[in-house]
Amino acid sequence: MGKSQELYQQAKQLIPGGTQLLSKRSEMFLPDQWPSYYKKAKGVEVWDLDDRHYDDMSIMGVGTCVLGYANDEVNQAVMAAIAEGNMSTLNCYEEIQLAQKLITLHPWAQMVRYAKSGGEACMIAVRIARAFSKKDKVAFCGYHGWGDWYLASNLADDKNLDGQLLPGLEPCGVPAGLAHSAVPFVYGDTEGFQRLIEENKNEIGVVIMEVGRHQKVAVEFLKKVKEITKAIGAVLIFDEVSSGFRVTTGGMHMVYGINPDILVLGKALGNGYPISSVIGIRDVMQAAQRTFISSTYWTERIGFVAALETIKIFERDQVAKKLMETGEYLTQGLLDIFKKYSLKIDMAGLVSVPMMVIRLEKPLVVKTIFTQEMLKEGFLATTTIYVSYAHTMAIIDRYLVVANKVWRRIADALKAGTLEDMLEGPVCHSGFKRLA
Ligand SMILES: Cc1ncc(COP(=O)(O)O)c(C=O)c1O
């Protein structure tokens, strides 16, 4: 066990759950072996506490660092802002520049609010939408953070959130009175959505959904959701915290020409510096003035400056196009490997966030062994890859060579019935679980 693994054992005694983010728990990757802590990160390179070096072919700062870690230009802009004072009694002017830029990128919108994280921004969006529609009930699809409004869904049925990215989320601590205030629908299931709306027609004031995540974007479904939402006078929120800046500069809905009333962006917007935004049409956004939404650090300068610089680089270097090209190349490379070794593994996800869907027996065992073997070869790897601008073709090709070797070994072990003998520690978790 190295320093990183030892520190994580201590962390679990000091921090309930070990870390602030479920997706950064080592149990989600490789229990007892994952290098949970880093000393340095640059481009796609990461150094752990034992100075071991890795290339990150996994989730790149949980989808934040779309330009790569510690991007020089973003860092320079941030450092200049720090030198000029990152906080004051007065507001920083960059929040207006960013609002103007976000509205230019999403011309259907007129007003913007900010927060620091995606979950907070979703809470803001839902509050504004409820204030506007004057109806409490929220229909949702996808993952939208840790807020009471979202977890409340599991009060009525503890399986409600299981089909929405993270299974096992417990609504403990969420007021029981919120039961039935948030109801899920399934991505792509138009009839199911229609039924849900029919059953709750007079109560639903908010529809919030991810535009796409695992499956191909269901354009007709999105159009239908928009049409029905409008017909019942509810507010449509697209949560693009994860899909924003993956397919185009800003929200992916722009590619399909289907606009929401409110858009939520986060993660990649600041390339690793905390910033999220709620962008919307004037009428709806003005409802923010009838309720109280206010927080000190939402005014802090760094996030705005980082976002402005990130957008500048996206536009100048056509980053989104590059991400898609890299994602396509990677997907094809992996599909070729799976075909060669007759492995039942499909590729899903957004083109620039390719995801392996393991359809073999004991998929979590397979996933754990893949991560374990890739780690030995110097790669942080899991079944999802957040492609970044810093992933050069040289790195991708090196990854594909090593992945080929590892998947061949896994395929051989599967044939010999010795797969589990390869495990050098416990199997990874797939969702939320209480830690020992
Ligand atoms: C679509 C979506 N919404 C909201 C969130 C929550 O964002 P955060 O973790 O920054 O609070 C996430 C995070 O993964 C997300 O993917």
The CATH number that applies at residue 351 is 3.90.1150.10
Q: In the chain, what percentage of residues exceed pLDDT 70?
A: 100
pLDDT, tens digit, 9 for 90 and up, residues 377-435: 999 999 999 999 999 999 999 999 999 999 999 999 999 999 999 999 999 998 888 88
Q: What is the pLDDT of residue 157?
A: 83
Regarding the beta carbon of 275 and ligand 1, being less than 6 Å apart is answered no
Give 306 Cα–ligand 1 centroid separation in angstroms.
19
For ligand 1, is residue 145 a contact (CB within 6 Å)?
yes
Measuring CA to CA, how many Å separate 327 from each of 44, 53, 235, 373? 15, 24, 33, 22
Q: Residue 433 domain-assigned? A: no
Q: Is 239 in the pocket of ligand 1 (CB under 6 A)?
A: yes
Q: 123 with 44, same domain?
A: no
Q: Is the pLDDT of residue 201 over 90?
A: no
Structure confidence at residue 166 (pLDDT): 78
CB 285 within 8 A of CB 113: yes
User: Measured in angstroms, how far is the CA atom of residue 146 from the centroid of ligand 1?
Assistant: 9
Label residue 338 by pLDDT band (50, 70, 90). Answer: very high
The number of CA neighbours under 13 Å toward the Cβ of 231 is: 10
Whether 65 and 112 share a structural domain: no
User: What confidence tier does 358 reach under pLDDT thresholds 50, 70, 90?
Assistant: very high
Cα(432) to ligand 1 centroid in Å equals 15
Q: What is the mean pLDDT of residues 12-33?
A: 95
**Is 231 inside any structural domain?**
yes
- Flag whether 434 is in a domain: no
Query: Which pLDDT value is given to residue 152?
Result: 94
Q: Is 383 exposed, middle or buried (0-12, 13-18, 19+ CB in 10 A)?
A: buried
pLDDT at 165 over 80: no
In this structure, the dihedral spanned by the alpha carbons of residues 151, 153, 155 and 159, taken in order and rounded to 10 degrees, is -100
Q: Is the CB of 242 under 6 A from ligand 1?
A: yes
DSSP state of 2: -
Q: What is the three-class DSSP state of 381?
A: strand
| Helices and strands counted in the chain (H then E) | 15, 13
Residue 242 reports pLDDT greater than 90 = yes
Angle at 348 between CA 22 and CA 223, to 5 degrees: 95
Question: Of 293, 317, 341, which residue sits at a domain end?
Answer: 317
- Please give the torsion angle defined by the CA atoms of residues 245, 228, 184 and 118, in that order, rounded to the nearest 10 degrees: 30
428 within a domain of the structure (yes/no): no
Tell how strand 182-184 and strand 235-239 pair up.
unpaired
Number of structural domains in the chain: 2
Structure-model confidence comparison of residues 156 and 360, the more confident one? 360
**Is pLDDT of 17 > 90?**
yes
212 lines ligand 1 (CB under 6 A): no
pLDDT digits (tens, 9 = 90+) for 113-151: 999 999 999 999 999 999 999 999 999 999 999 999 999
Query: What percent of the chain has pLDDT above 90?
Result: 93
| Token digits of residue 199 | 């059953």
Alpha carbon of residue 186 to chain centroid: 18
Contacts of 53 (CB under 8 A, 6+ apart): 45, 46, 47, 378
pTM: 0.97
Does 266 map to a domain?
yes
Q: Does residue 98 sit in the same domain as residue 170?
A: yes
Query: Looking at the structure, do residues 372 and 301 belong to the same domain, yes or no?
Result: no
pLDDT given for residue 399 in this prediction: 98
- Domain at 109, CATH number: 3.40.640.10
Domain limits at 163?
72-317
Computed over every residue of the chain, the mean pLDDT equals 96
**Minimum-distance ligand 1 atom for the alpha carbon of 239:** 1
In this structure, which residue's CA is closest to atom 16 in ligand 1? 242
Domain assignment present for residue 429? The answer is: no
Same-domain pairing of 160 and 274: yes
- Of 297, 317, 337, the one marking the end of a domain is 317
Q: Quote the strand ranges of 251-292, DSSP E.
A: 262-265, 276-280
Residue 160 is predicted with a pLDDT of: 80
Name the residue of 25, 146, 149, 241 to mutate for ligand 1: max ligand atoms within 8 A of Cβ: 241
Same domain? 310 vs 337:
no
Cα separation, 303 vs 307, in Å, equals: 6
Q: Which of the listed residues 295, 317, 339 is the one where a domain comes to its end? A: 317
What's the 59 CA to ligand 1 centre distance in angstroms? 13
* Structural domain contains residue 208: yes
